[in-house]
C-alpha cells in the first residue's frame, strides 16, 4: 500500500520530491500532492483534519478522481473509501433524517439497499448531502463497490423529497432556511444525472429529475445577464446578483455533461459552454489562472475549495467538448499552482497564481489537487 512518499522512498528522495527535482510530469505532481493531502487524513475519523464535513467529501472526490486515472494510487484510494465509509458518519455534525416525512419518503428510496444508512450521511444542509453523493459515486466509479452507489441513491432520495414549492420547484439550501441557492440545485442536477448513467433500472427516474431541475434552474434566472451564475435567489425568487463563485460555474458543467450522456439533447453542451466561457472571462486573470473574489484571506472556511471544483468540472466538459480555451486554463492553473503556490513541504495554497499567501490546509490542498489531476488528462 502506498500512503505517503515517506513510506515509499528513502529520506533523501523525499526531499527531492518536495523540491520538485523528481519527475515533474503532470502525474508525478498529482501523486505528490495526494501524498501531502494524506498527511491531513485522520484514519480514526475518516476525514481530513482542517477540512469540514462537506469539504471532506471533496477531498475524497479528488482522491477518487486521481485513482481513476492513475492505478498506482488505487490502494490508497480504496483504503480511504473503506475507512471513510465506516468512520466518517460518527463526525457528521447533524446526522439523521431531514424532514418529518421520512416514512412517507421510504418508497422514494426504491431499490436502494437497506444495508446502507443514508441518514447517517445527511447533515441538514442539502448541499453537503449532494457533495457526499458525488463523492460516493466517484468512489463507485473506481471500485464498482455497490454499497457506495446505493448510498448515493439513498442520499439522492432525501434530496428529492426536499423538492420545494417556494419558487415553483428546486430545493432550498437546508430544511430550516428559505434561501434557495445555486449550488444546492446544481448538485441535485449533477447527482441525478450521474445516477442516470449508473443505475440502469432507474435511468428514466433520474433523467426526469435531472431534466426537471435543469428546466427549473434556467427558468428561475440563476444565470445572470453575462452568462455567469450568481449565488442564489431573493425571497421573491429573482436572481440575487450575489457573488459569482467559481464552484457555481463548475458543478452545473459536470451535471450537463452527464445529463447529455444519459439523454442527449443538443442544447445541453452549448449551455455548458456558454457558462464555462462566461466564467473564464469573469474569473481568470491574464495568465488564465482562476481566482475567487475572497482571495487571499477571506476564503475560509468554505470557499478555499471552490476553484478545484470548477476545474474538475471544466475537465469533464473538455472531455466531451474539447476547446483550446479550457485546455489553456487547466494547464495554466496546474503550472502556476506547482511553480508559484507551493511551499517547501509540498503544500499548496489558495492563490493559485502565487505568491503563497493566505491559508494552507487540506481544503486548499485538495482544491489544487483537482487542478493537477485535470492537467493529467488534458
Ligand X SMILES: *[C@@H]1O[C@H](CO)[C@@H](O)[C@H](O)[C@H]1NC(C)=O
Residues that bind ligand X (CB under 6 A): 43, 52-54, 95-96, 117, 119-120, 125, 128, 214-215, 224, 226, 228, 230, 241, 244, 265, 267, 281-282, 301-302
Enter the C-alpha cell of residue 64: 477518487
CB of 334 to ligand X, least distance (A): 23
Are the C-beta atoms of 216 and 163 separated by less than 8 Å?
Answer: no
C-beta closer to ligand X: residue 20 or 175: 175
Phi, psi of 42 (to 5 degrees): -105, 110
Measured from the CB atom, the residue of 183 and 373 that comes closer to ligand X is 183
Closest separation between CB of residue 163 and ligand X, Å?
17
Structural element, H or E, at residue 42: strand 41-42
By beta-carbon proximity to ligand X, the closer residue of 215 and 235 is: 215
**Is residue 355 reached through a cis peptide bond, with omega within 30 degrees of 0 on the bond before it?**
yes
Contacts of 54 (CB under 8 A, 6+ apart): 123, 125, 127, 128, 131, 132, 302
The span from the CA of 365 to the CA of 9, in Å, is 21
Instruction: Say how many residues make up the chain.
Output: 378
CB 49 within 8 A of CB 360: no
Shortest separation between residue 23's beta carbon and ligand X, angstroms: 26
**372, 337 contact by CB (below 8 A):** yes
Angle at 275 between CA 221 and CA 356, to 5 degrees: 115
Nearest CB to ligand X, comparing residues 43 and 297: 43
Least Cβ distance, residue 146 to ligand X (angstroms) = 18
* Closest distance of CB 363 from ligand X, Å: 10
* Min separation Cβ 288 and ligand X, Å: 14
Closer residue to ligand X, CB minimum distance, 101 or 117: 117
> Of 212 and 340, which CB lies nearer to ligand X in the complex structure?
212
Q: And the C-alpha cell for 254?
A: 459536470
Amino acid at each position: 500500500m502506498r500512503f505517503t512518499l515517506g513510506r515509499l522512498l528513502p529520506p533523501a528522495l523525499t526531499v527531492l520530491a518536495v523540491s520538485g527535482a523528481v519527475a515533474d510530469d503532470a502525474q508525478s505532481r498529482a501523486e505528490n500532492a495526494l501524498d501531502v493531502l494524506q498527511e491531513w487524513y485522520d484514519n480514526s475519523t475518516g476525514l481530513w483534519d482542517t477540512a469540514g464535513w462537506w469539504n471532506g467529501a471533496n477531498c475524497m472526490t479528488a482522491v477518487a478522481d486521481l485513482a481513476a486515472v492513475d492505478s498506482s494510487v488505487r490502494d490508497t484510494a480504496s483504503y480511504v473509501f473503506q475507512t471513510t465509509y465506516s468512520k466518517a458518519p460518527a463526525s457528521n455534525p447533524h446526522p439523521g433524517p431531514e424532514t418529518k416525512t421520512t416514512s412517507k419518503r421510504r418508497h422514494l428510496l426504491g431499490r436502494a439497499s437497506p444495508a446502507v444508512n443514508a441518514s447517517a450521511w445527511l447533515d441538514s444542509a442539502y448541499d453537503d448531502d449532494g457533495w457526499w453523493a458525488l463523492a460516493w459515486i466517484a468512489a463507485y466509479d473506481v471500485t464498482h463497490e455497490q454499497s457506495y452507489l446505493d448510498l448515493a441513491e439513498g442520499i439522492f432520495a432525501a434530496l428529492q423529497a426536499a423538492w420545494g414549492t417556494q419558487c415553483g420547484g428546486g430545493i432550498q439550501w437546508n430544511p430550516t432556511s428559505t434561501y434557495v441557492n445555486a449550488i444546492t440545485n446544481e448538485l441535485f442536477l449533477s447527482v441525478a444525472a450521474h445516477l442516470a448513467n449508473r443505475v440502469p433500472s432507474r435511468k428514466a427516474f433520474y433523467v426526469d429529475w435531472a431534466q426537471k431541475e435543469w428546466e427549473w434552474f434556467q427558468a428561475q434566472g440563476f444565470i445572470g445577464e453575462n452568462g455567469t451564475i450568481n449565488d442564489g435567489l431573493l425571497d421573491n425568487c429573482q436572481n440575487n446578483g450575489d457573488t459569482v463563485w467559481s464552484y457555481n460555474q463548475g458543478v452545473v458543467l459536470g451535471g450537463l455533461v452527464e445529463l447529455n450522456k444519459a439523454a442527449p439533447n443538443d442544447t445541453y453542451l452549448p449551455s455548458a459552454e456558454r457558462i464555462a466561457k462566461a466564467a473564464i472571462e469573469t474569473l481568470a486573470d491574464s495568465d488564465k489562472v482562476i481566482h475567487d473574489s475572497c482571495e487571499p484571506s477571506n476564503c475560509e472556511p468554505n470557499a478555499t475549495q471552490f476553484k478545484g471544483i470548477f476545474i474538475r468540472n471544466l475537465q469533464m466538459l473538455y472531455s466531451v467538448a474539447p476547446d483550446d480555451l479550457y485546455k489553456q486554463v487547466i494547464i495554466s492553473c496546474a503550472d502556476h499552482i506547482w511553480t508559484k503556490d507551493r511551499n517547501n513541504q509540498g503544500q499548496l495554497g489558495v492563490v493559485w497564481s502565487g505568491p503563497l499567501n493566505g491559508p494552507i490546509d487540506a481544503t486548499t490542498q485538495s482544491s489544487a489537487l483537482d487542478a493537477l489531476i485535470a492537467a493529467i488528462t488534458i
